[in-house]
Amino acid sequence: MPKPTLDDRIARDIGLPSLTRAALAGHRLRALNGTLARVVRESAFYAKHLRGVRLPLPSLEAIAALPFTTSADLIREPESFRCVPPGSVERIVTLRSSGTTAQPKRIFFTRRDLDDTRAYFAAGLTTLLDPGEAVFILYAASTPNSVGDLLAHAARDAGTRPVMPEPGEPFPSLVRRLERERVRLLAGDPLQLLELARFNRFRGTGLRVPRVLLSADSVPDSLRRAVEQDLGAEVFAHYGSRETGYGGGLECAAHRGCHMREADLLIEAVEPETGVPLCAGETGELVVTVLRREGTPLIRYRTGDEGRRDSGPCPCGTVLETWSGVRRIEREMLPAPLCCREALEDAAFALPSVLDVRVRLWDDRIEIVLETLSSSDYEPAVPEPLRDMIAAVRSIPVSLVVRGRSEPDLLPRRKRRIERIPGEPPPANPTLTDPTLAKSALTEPAENDREPA
Comparison of 106 and 259: residue with beta carbon closer to Zn ion: 259
Nearer to Zn ion, 252 or 348 (CB): 252
Instruction: Verify binding: residue 252, Zn ion, rule CB under 5 A.
Output: yes
Residues numbered 163 to 202 that lie near Zn ion (CB under 5 A) are none
Closest CB to Zn ion among residues 189, 321: 321
Span from 59-67, 157-165, 269-277, 306-314 in contact with Zn ion (CB under 5 A): 306-314
Give min distance, CB of 122 to Zn ion, in A: 19
Among the listed residues 444, 416, 424, the one whose alpha carbon sits nearest the alpha carbon of residue 365:
424
Q: Is 336 in the site for Zn ion (CB under 5 A)?
A: no
Cα 119 to the center of its chain, rounded Å: 18
User: Smallest gap, in angstroms, from Cβ of residue 43 to Zn ion?
Assistant: 35
| Count of chain residues binding Zn ion (CB under 5 A) | 5
Provide the minimum distance between the beta carbon of 5 and Zn ion in the complex, in angstroms, as a whole number.
9
Figure out which of the listed residues 254, 276, 391, 392 binds Zn ion, where binding follows CB under 5 A.
254
- Identify which range of 100-108, 218-226, 311-319, 363-371 contacts Zn ion by CB under 5 A: 311-319
Taking the least distance from each CB to Zn ion, the nearer of 254 and 279 is: 254
Stretch that binds Zn ion, among 122-130, 156-164, 309-317, 443-451 (CB under 5 A): 309-317
Instruction: Fill in the amino acid letter for 218.
Output: S
Q: Verify binding: residue 250, Zn ion, rule CB under 5 A.
A: no
Options 163-171, 189-197, 249-257, 413-421: segment touching Zn ion (CB under 5 A): 249-257
Which CB, 289 or 318, lies closer to Zn ion? 318
Q: Which stretch binds Zn ion (CB under 5 A): 158-166, 241-249, 268-276, 307-315?
A: 307-315
Please, what is the minimum distance in Å from the beta carbon of residue 127 to Zn ion? 10
Interacting residue with Zn ion among 163, 235, 237, 314 (CB under 5 A): 314
Query: What minimum distance in Å lies between the beta carbon of 182 and Zn ion?
Result: 27
Q: List contacts with Zn ion (CB under 5 A).
A: 252, 254, 314, 316, 318
